[in-house]
Amino acid sequence: MAFSIVTWNINSVRLRLPIVQHLLEMWQPDVLCLQETKCPDDQFPTAAFKKMGYEHIAMHGQKGYHGVATIAKEPFAAESEWLEFCDMGDTRHMSTRHTIPGMSDPVLLHNFYVPAGGDEPDIVKNPKFDHKLKFLDEMTDHFGGRFKDDKNIVVGDLNIAPSENDVWSHKQLLKVVSHTPVEVETLDRVFKAGGFVDLVRQNFPEPELLYSWWSYRSRDWQTSNRGRRLDHIWSHPDVAKHLSSVDILSEARGWEKPSDHVPIRAVFG
């Protein structure tokens, strides 16, 4: 039996609820992980999701900024949890446990919204960039420590395009936040600490160009195609063995009132 997980930075769940509902009708995933929900928990559109058969919702939100939510058809295998990073009070992480058919132990699914990091890649001049790197350092500590023995899956907007084939121009973006060498190196430490497999690249090996984000600043995003792969799905190697497919729904960038990110789906079994 197949089991699917979708991740999507929705850039306001209430504003873009119609396209989220459209996605659920199209793909009917078992689990949907949303980032940048921009919504306090008491204002989350819970009823709309339950009406569509998604009865189980874990959310960690705040007014106007950030926020993550994990929405599932079946009950979570344990209580949801969240971590606060860098003592900032931001709502950028949620973890839930899920039973995947064919696997003996539940997986621990982490839904992340990593800080974007501002405009200048300088930790002295730009506190937002410093925050981003420290956030990633804390992720490294957690996956090398408290989560070390879990069958982890990491999904979300990690706000870094690590490979030269994850950006429209490696040369032109080397000094642009999201693709600088220090960000790529710091993200790689997170990746190695968790012993992860990049499920998207497992399905679409290098050197295929892959993007999940196109700026709102581009008048014709499709023609210019200046994208970046900022959204990721990683897993423990034992989980990766069960991967059957990955889909990147690029067409969603052209939907009415779109997010600047598009959904990515991993199917297991």
Query: Domains (ranges, CATH) in the chain?
Result: 3-268 (3.60.10.10)
Q: Locate tokens 């509902």: which residue?
A: 21
**pLDDT recorded at residue 179:** 98
Measured CA to CA, the distance from residue 11 to residue 161 in angstroms comes to 19
Both tokens assigned to 245: 């497919």
Q: What is the pLDDT of residue 111?
A: 98
Rounded distance between C-alpha atoms, residue 27 and residue 6, angstroms: 9
Give the distance between the most distant pair of CA atoms in the chain: 51
pLDDT band at 219 (very low <50, low <70, confident <90, very high): confident
Report pLDDT for 186.
98
Q: Tell me the average pLDDT across 199-209.
A: 98
Structure tokens at 73: 């058809």
Can you tell me whether residue 230 is helix, strand or coil?
Answer: coil
Q: Quick one: 46 exposed, middle or buried, by C-beta within 10 A (0-12, 13-18, 19+)? A: middle
At 51 the three-state DSSP class reads helix
Q: 191 pLDDT exceeds 90?
A: yes
User: What mean pLDDT comes out for the span 187-216?
Assistant: 98
Q: Percent of the chain, pLDDT > 70?
A: 100
pLDDT over threshold 90, residue 99:
yes
Residue 171: pLDDT above 90?
yes
What per-residue confidence (pLDDT) applies to 181? 98
pLDDT at residue 85, as a whole number: 97
Q: What is the mean pLDDT of the chain?
A: 97
- Predicted confidence at residue 134, as pLDDT, reads 98
pTM: 0.98
* pLDDT score of 218 more than 90: no
Mean pLDDT (whole number) for 79-103: 96
Q: Round to whole Å and give the CA distance between 126 and 9.
A: 24
- Give the pLDDT of residue 1: 86
